[in-house]
């Protein structure tokens, strides 16, 4: 198997393991983190802080690189404006995260551990993606 497949696969496995280890695949822990006026669980703030720290370091190296190891160029954001689609999408993401206690990464990661619990979430996620493509990608 080539490095073009092994490196992304290993990265995905490492990411999923990190999500599981950090408790991001536990919907009760996520909902506890979002319950800032009730029984707040600050644990996930450390997980997010760790991710922000790693990404802040990575952002320092990106301008010095000609291209990623396994791609011809970087896919960096080119726009910084707030569009209605972005705001609505962010709102829907937050509502779904609060209700389900999962977001896409942990939703797919938990498929391996508790497929029955994650199946409804992943099906709704994929349905929403298809619906968006049908409605807006003309």
CA dist., res. 17 & res. 21, Å (int): 6
pLDDT for 91-100, tens place per residue? 988 898 888 8
- What is the structure's pLDDT at 62? 86
- What is the structure's pLDDT at 54? 92
Beta carbons of 107 and 121 less than 8 angstroms apart = yes
106 closest CA partner among 25, 15, 17: 25
**C-alpha radius of gyration, the chain, whole number:** 17
Global pTM? 0.69
Q: Using the structure block, give the residue that is written with the tokens 């999500």.
A: 19
71 closest CA partner among 3, 1, 133: 3
């Amino acid at each position: 198997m080539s490095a073009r497949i092994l490196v992304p696969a290993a990265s995905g496995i490492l990411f999923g393991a990190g999500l599981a280890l950090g408790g991001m695949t536990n919907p009760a822990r996520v909902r506890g983190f979002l319950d800032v006026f009730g029984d707040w669980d600050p644990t996930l703030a450390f997980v997010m802080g760790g991710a922000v720290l790693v990404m802040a370091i990575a952002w320092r190296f990106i301008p010095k690189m000609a291209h990623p190891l396994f791609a011809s160029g970087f896919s960096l954001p080119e726009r910084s404006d707030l569009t209605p689609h972005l705001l609505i999408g962010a709102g829907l993401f937050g509502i779904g995260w609060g209700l389900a206690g999962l977001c896409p990464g942990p939703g797919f990661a938990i498929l391996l551990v508790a497929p029955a619990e994650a199946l409804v979430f992943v099906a709704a996620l994929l349905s929403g993606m298809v619906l968006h493509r049908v409605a807006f990608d003309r």
